Amino acid sequence: MMAVTSSCKEGTKIAMDNGKYVRYTPEQVEALERLYHECPKPSSMRRQQLIRECPILSNIEPKQIKVWFQNRRCREKQRKEASRLQAVNRKLTAMNKLLMEENDRLQKQVSQLVYENSYFRQQTQNTTLATTDTSCESVVTSGQHHLTPQHPPRDASPAGLLSIAEETLTEFLSKATGTAVEWVQMPGMKPGPDSIGIVAISHGRSGVAARACGLVGLDPTRVAEILKDRPSWYRDCRAVDVINVLSTGNGGTIELLYMQLYAPTTLAPARDFWLLRYTSVMEDGSLVVCERSLNNTQNGPSMPPAANFVRAELLPSGYLIRPCEGGGSIIHIVDHMDLEPWSVPEVLRPLYESSTLLAQKTTMAALRHLRQISQEISQPNVTGWGRRPAALRALSQKLNKGFNEAVNGFADEGWSMLESDGVDDVTLLVNSSPSKMMGINLSYGNGFPSMGNAILCAKASMLLQNVPPAILLRFLREHRSEWADSGIDAYSAAAVKAGPCGLPVARGGSFGGQVILPLAHTIEHEEFMEVIKLENMGHYREDMIMPGDIFLLQLCSGVDENAVGTCAQLTFAPIDASFSDDAPIIPSGFRIIPLDSGMDASSPNRTLDLASTLEVGAAGNRSTGDNSGRNGSTKSVMTIAFQFVYEIHLQENVATMARQYVRSIIASVQRVALALSPSNFGSHAGFRTPPGTPEAQTLARWICQSYRCYLGVELLEYEGSESILKTLWHNTDAVLCCSLKALPVFTFANQAGLDMLETTLVALQDISLEKIFDDNGRKALFAEFPQVMQQGFMCLQGGICLSSMGRPISYERAVAWKVVNDEENAHCICFMFVNWSFV
């Protein structure tokens, strides 16, 4: 702020010292403002052209116009900075209020725990003193019965439902703002103006529970509307049907709902809920949406059990939404469920007993979705190949929904199981229902119909040990050639291309190049969408040649190794090169869910198929609390599902192909998982050597040696040749290498460089040097580029460049130098951007 102000004063002082200060007329200001909106920083030639085109500016010298633009940019920068500081101040004020309320709640919880501790200590002493007196036991027992709430009978009448709703509201508020549940802050979730909020999980409570508080830039009514539409943000939610709606005398609304959740893996049944939802406005203007199951009500409304679903229980949960001063809302979210873990194999019960997993998949997902919507409203723009954020969200939902449908294979959607070949490791389902094929049987402009009239799904699940899900998923994403078959990819792509295709033939070693094209990402980068271009993947037939490139729409989430309890998922679907909004989406992919390390499910192998070794017990321990808080979780369950469109007369052949293909993928994943095991990494478990030619270690040495040779100082402080690459990789300044070609492209980047460009090592080579600079930056770069080849280095002043997603990046300064190999021949050009940040 001080630098900007002094710059403005300096510009004015120059104009006045020259004795040529001009008071601009309104017409002159209007003409200058028009040019400013077109080009805030016009060149000298453009300013002279403006004087020639606008006679009203003829009495003003170009130098004075230059000063006017300097002052105008200063004022604009001051305005933006003031607006930003006001927004941050509002966030901090609201966050301070939220933290004070949380502090009050914690103090009440401490007081209650102190009281309970004193009470139980006294009871223990009394029991010890009167070991022969059984009356003490009766007194304690009667006291316990007195503390247990007795719910009066409820019925389906409006009065009975309102009584249930009011009771639900009271219990929900006691969890959201009171001390009914002992909440423990979730690891890694620290409050702040840019954080998702305050997230906590339950401790010592029946079922699983999670609680979150946060700020969103939306009004309470809009927040409630979004949260009620649970399938739009809760990826595991299959459907929510409103059975009945009643209005209450106090202006509230009671809804009876039937909700179904997808099963996360093929080894467990799906869940459903029979719910009451109560929406009301409190005296202080807060909006409350609370819910609970109606399973245990006497003579109340009932919903018969559904086939292939386990009826779970939602304990009093909901949303408390309060208007925030200056706009936006403060929201409290509570999710409390009993997911009936007894109904799944014992090794999978952590999925249903982990409050951390519930917080990640439900509570935090709601807050993230609200923040995403708020950002899209406040910063409306078109991203992702000309598509608006709402269209990209719709594509994301289609990918998730299609993958969940494939994993679950519900009969009411038309799925039926094929007979096994004697080995139960891979399950095959087929679907030829008209509703399923409606979006696939499309006609194309050249007269070809689509190739299939049925869908086959091959799916399997297996247990992984000693492999972090995030690392395994990143490998599967970046190294598709290690597990995929090019012939299968070409066959799948034919479903959305114009024309038929024969059965695929495995073509080992013929995998083409893979280019990752970023498309969109969420506000916290926990999920991102991209287009995968598989080059030179043509599928040949005698009578036709399919196009050489294949495109996949891919959605990736859960790649952050530091996130606790995060489900890692990679889903993809072939798309046509036109990438139309109504294109059929037939997703396949992987899902890896971490399991609790404390559960006893050991195995002599790194990866095992679970289908033949697990048995579901008729009953089990309904454990309380949460086991997910222990560090060092080494087990996870992976679910694989691949879908193929085919012609019905080829079903037997396609089934054989699909079964063999999924088995080959399982074998590849087992091999990769064994290689990625931390025991094979030693002390560098989280560090992967970046690929490249020459070897990355050698390239890192060349980079540092060339920097020392041309600039006379050391680039890095390191010890031993083996640590050069690691030190360079973790350097906070962005280091990028580009080729010495007519159109230079990037060939290597450290972690900061990948973060700055918002890309990966695989997709890096698709980004050219000129793409990251604007017009002024390109002119300055190319003007100074010969200096690098002659002198060996050059220094660039601070400026603005662009990431691969189009986001502007500011940097304090940049250095470029020529990298020479051991024969002193030029190998590449290396750039280092110092103190960069997103604008």
- Name 512's Cβ contacts closer than 8 Å, sequence gap at least 6: 486, 534, 535, 536, 537
Q: What is the mean pLDDT of each run of 10 residues along the chain (839 residues)?
A: 43 44 78 82 80 80 84 87 76 72 72 74 66 39 38 66 91 86 72 67 83 89 94 93 89 93 93 94 92 74 85 94 85 93 88 89 91 82 69 90 94 88 80 68 43 84 88 89 84 62 42 74 84 69 55 89 80 84 86 67 33 35 40 76 90 91 91 73 40 65 89 77 76 89 84 85 78 78 77 85 83 89 88 88
Domain 158-378 matches domain 389-614+625-681 at the CATH topology level: yes
| DSSP state letter for 337 | E
How far is Cα of residue 807 from the mean position of the Cα atoms in its chain?
18
- Name 620's Cβ contacts closer than 8 Å, sequence gap at least 6: 341, 342, 346, 349
CA dihedral 166, 170, 176, 180 (to 10 degrees): -140
Residue 241: phi and psi, rounded to 5, are: -105, 130
**CA dihedral sign of residues 339, 466, 662, 609:** negative
Find, among 354, 280, 349, 288, the residue nearest to 318 by Cα. 288
* Alpha carbons 288 and 281: distance in angstroms, whole number: 6
- Per DSSP, which regions of 467-567 are E strands? 514-521, 527-534, 550-557
Q: What is the CATH number of domain 696-838?
A: 3.30.450.20
Tell me the HSE value of 53 on the side-chain side, using a 13 A CA sphere.
Answer: 10
pLDDT of residue 678: 61
Structure tokens at 316: 């009093």
Give me the helix-helix angle, 220-228 and 364-378, nearest 10°: 130
State how far the alpha carbon of 518 is from the alpha carbons of 44, 452, 532, 803, in Å: 37, 30, 9, 10
* Alpha carbons 397 and 420: distance in angstroms, whole number: 32
* Alpha carbons 350 and 508: distance in angstroms, whole number: 39
Among the residues of 206-325, which ranges form H helices?
Answer: 220-228
Q: Hunting for tokens 């793409």 — which residue is that?
A: 771
DSSP 33-95: HHHHHH-SS--HHHHHHHHHH-GGGTTS-HHHHHHHHHHHHHHHHHHHHHHHHHHHHHHHHHH
Architecture of the 158-378 domain: 2-Layer Sandwich (3.30)
Q: What 3-state class would DSSP assign to 636?
A: strand
Q: Taking a C-beta distance cutoff of 8 angstroms, is the pair 56, 27 a contact? A: yes
Q: Taking a C-beta distance cutoff of 8 angstroms, is the pair 270, 261 a contact? A: yes
pLDDT of residue 189: 57
> Quick count: other Cβ atoms within 10 Å of Cβ 735?
24
Q: What is the CATH number of domain 389-614+625-681?
A: 3.30.530
Q: Taking a C-beta distance cutoff of 8 angstroms, is the pair 700, 687 a contact? A: no
Residue 373 burial (10 A CB sphere; 0-12, 13-18, 19+): buried
Pairing of strands 309-311, 270-281: parallel
Q: What 3-state class would DSSP assign to 356?
A: helix
Q: What 3-state class would DSSP assign to 575?
A: strand
* Alpha carbons 533 and 511: distance in angstroms, whole number: 12
**CA dihedral sign of residues 296, 300, 305, 311:** negative
Find, among 367, 339, 370, the residue nearest to 209 by Cα. 339
pLDDT of residue 719: 60
- Name 478's Cβ contacts closer than 8 Å, sequence gap at least 6: 516, 760, 761, 762
Q: Hunting for tokens 């222990």 — which residue is that?
A: 630
> Quick count: other Cβ atoms within 10 Å of Cβ 741?
10
Residue 306 burial (10 A CB sphere; 0-12, 13-18, 19+): middle
What is the number of H-type helices and E-type strands within the chain?
21, 27
State how far the alpha carbon of 819 is from the alpha carbons of 362, 705, 744, 790, in Å: 49, 8, 14, 13
Overall pTM > 0.75: no
Residue 766: phi and psi, rounded to 5, are: -90, 0
Q: What is the enclosing helix (H) or strand (E) of 96?
A: helix 62-129
**Residue ranges covered by each domain of the chain:** 1-131, 158-378, 389-614+625-681, 696-838
